Structure 1
Amino acid sequence: MLRSLWEYRFFVLTSIWNDFYMRFVRSKLGGAWLILHPLSQVMIYAFILSNLLASRIPGISGSYGYAIYLMAGLLGWNLFSEVLDRCMKVFVKNANIIKKMSFPRITLPIIEIGSALLNNMVLLAVMVIIFFLLGHGIDWSILTVFLLAPVVALLAAGIGITLGVLNVFIRDVEQVMPIILQLMFWFTPIVYPAGAIPEQYLQYLRLSPIFQIVSAYHEAIVFHRFPPLAPIAILFVLALFACALAIFMFRRANADMVDVL
């Protein structure tokens, strides 16, 4: 599998670039949509909840503190949800190609992961510019994002590919996951601070990998602190386990997927 990925590396890289490039060609606003969607979320939540929750976020001051907190959390969440969603739908979306062409099918989720990471890095660059305009400085701790992003992508890809294989045989998976993701979003301190959650519930929410991901993004971007390495190491181990399960299921179901699709 690794050998086939290496042999098709130019196909993977070209496909990632084409996916990114076509966003600029097929619409008048082009790549601006990469920025407008998360920023529209930030403006909506900031307009509704800023006065209510801004004062409850320790270590943040200023009129735009809550918006900065939101953008940092959404950066981590968007990467996880986009990779998971892309990998979950990749085999069904490319059914015609899979049935008509002979090529390593594992390249398809790799292309989706690469495209999501590229989109996320563009969003990070734009957010850094916005932070400077809002008067929020950037510290060396932001470099932690480049360590976090691959771990988040690996974890989401492992879960997404596993769900993608199941989605070929049980199409309800694609319908159920948006509901689960919505629940995960609201049970993660993205639009509200972790301090707003009662301690008896907070200890259980901390068990969620997404909670740890968003907390690490907040530490690195908002509070200018390097996040603890222990949770990141645990996330990495979970990501490796999820990817191992995904590869196992993919290899077992690879031949049968063509017949079902």
Structure 2
Amino acid sequence: MPSTPGSVAPTSEPASRPPRSGAEPTRKERFATTVLEYRAARELLRNLVRRDIKIQHRGTALGALWSLITPITTVAIYTFIFTVIMPASPVRDAGNVPFAVYLFVGLTIWNLMQNGAIGGTSSVVGAGYLLSKVYFRREILPLTSVLSAFVTFLWEFGVALIVVVVVVGIPSWHVVFVPLIVLVAMLLAFGIGLLLSTAAVFFRDVQHFIGIFMQMWFWGTPIIYSLNLLEHRPTFLNIVQLNPMTGVVVSLRNVLLMDAAPDWKLLGYGAVVGLVLVVVGFVVFRRNERLFAEMI
């Protein structure tokens, strides 16, 4: 039976993992089974990402342009506030880079992490209809949200890169580090998605809390302001540097706007936090996934 637009094509896999008989499989056999399951889930993952992207813009006149209108509007509002209403600039390390460009670059990478994490938090609860019908690796649900956010990021980053080239100039060779910086942001989003999607199955309030949490995290990240603004406030500076997204935002600006290398210390710290979140989130997710269909 053909699938309808926006739907996820069913697979021939059973709705639950088939019972094993005989001797307990070895670690090598379990690993081989896991690899095969991930390979089998690739088509489902692609369908889920396509579905998410279509749903985002379904019924809208401007379609994918909304992916650009929202951050550009945000940049325009903050630029007006900090250049007209409050002309004391919160940026001290931008040189000749206009505040709007400085802000836009930081906002693109932040939106990648934020959209991936928020979407990941609701991913399991929102896919309840799939959990009882199709067996697949459940962790691809928060991964789908991260990949969907990455597709949107590519639109925003493409526009940001054009603006940087026109207004600031062609970035230096340090731009080759952009994929690494993006990967760290995606690790953070995926780790948060794994943890909070599990929590949201048992506590639905988590889906509302994540929006408030992201607002607080936004202001704790040097997106609107620079780290140099806090140089005379060491306590606040230390707190902001403990934020794993700080290194991501600072490093992307370094390579695109400052002709400098990423801040390896802060970026490395963010990568470690992201890896820890993914590992811990994976363990928590796998231990609780057997309860998902029942709770939803």
Could you tell me the TM-score, scaled by structure 1's length?
A: 0.90
Q: Is structure 2 residue 220 aligned with structure 1 residue 187?
A: yes
Q: Is structure 2 residue 262 aligned with structure 1 residue 230?
A: no
What letter corresponds to residue 99 of structure 1 in structure 2?
A: S
Measured in 1, the distance between the counterparts of 2:166 and 2:75 equals: 16
Is this contact kept in 2: 1:91–1:165, CA < 8 A?
Answer: yes
Alignment-derived partner of residue 278 in structure 2: 243
Q: Which residues in structure 2 correspond to 1:1-261 (within 5 Å)?
A: 1-20=34-53, 23=56, 26-50=59-83, 52-54=87-89, 56-61=91-96, 65-197=98-230, 198-261=233-296
Measured in 2, the distance between the counterparts of 1:163 and 1:59 equals: 36
Please identify, of 154-163 and 222-231, the stretch whose mean Cα deviation from structure 2 is larger. 222-231
What letter corresponds to residue 140 of structure 2 in structure 1?
A: T
SS at match of 1:123: helix
Measured in 1, the distance between the counterparts of 2:222 and 2:159 equals: 22
What letter corresponds to residue 232 of structure 1 in structure 2?
A: L
Measured in 2, the distance between the counterparts of 1:219 and 1:201 equals: 21
Q: How many residues align?
A: 259
Q: Displacement, 1:22?
A: 5.5
Task: Report Cα offsets for 1:140-181 as digits up to 9, x if no partner.
Answer: 222322111112111221122101101110112122221121
Comparing both structures, which one devotes a greater share of its residues to helix? Answer: 1
What letter corresponds to residue 149 of structure 2 in structure 1?
A: A
Q: Displacement, 1:90?
A: 0.2
Q: Displacement, 1:243?
A: 0.9
What letter corresponds to residue 259 of structure 2 in structure 1?
A: H
What letter corresponds to residue 251 of structure 1 in structure 2?
A: R
Is this contact kept in 2: 1:87–1:160, CA < 8 A?
Answer: yes
Task: Report Cα offsets for 1:193-232 as digits up to 9, x if no partner.
Answer: 2222223321222111122221112212221211133333
Q: Displacement, 1:60?
A: 2.2
Q: Structure 1 residues 216, 9: CA separation in 2 closer, same or farther (over 3 Å shift)?
A: same
Percent identical pairs in the alignment equals 24
- Bigger radius of gyration: 2
Q: Displacement, 1:58?
A: 2.6
Measured in 1, the distance between the counterparts of 2:94 and 2:161 equals: 19
Is this contact kept in 2: 1:53–1:192, CA < 8 A?
Answer: no
Measured in 2, the distance between the counterparts of 1:244 and 1:195 equals: 33
SS at match of 1:188: coil
SS at match of 1:171: coil
Is this contact kept in 2: 1:165–1:249, CA < 8 A?
Answer: yes
Is this contact kept in 2: 1:16–1:115, CA < 8 A?
Answer: yes
- Structure 1, unmatched stretches of 5+, are none
Q: Structure 1 residues 186, 35: CA separation in 2 closer, same or farther (over 3 Å shift)?
A: same
- Structure 2, unmatched stretches of 5+, are 1-33
Measured in 2, the distance between the counterparts of 1:168 and 1:108 equals: 13
Higher relative contact order (CA 8 A, sep 6+): 1
Is this contact kept in 1: 2:114–2:214, CA < 8 A?
Answer: yes
What letter corresponds to residue 112 of structure 1 in structure 2?
A: S
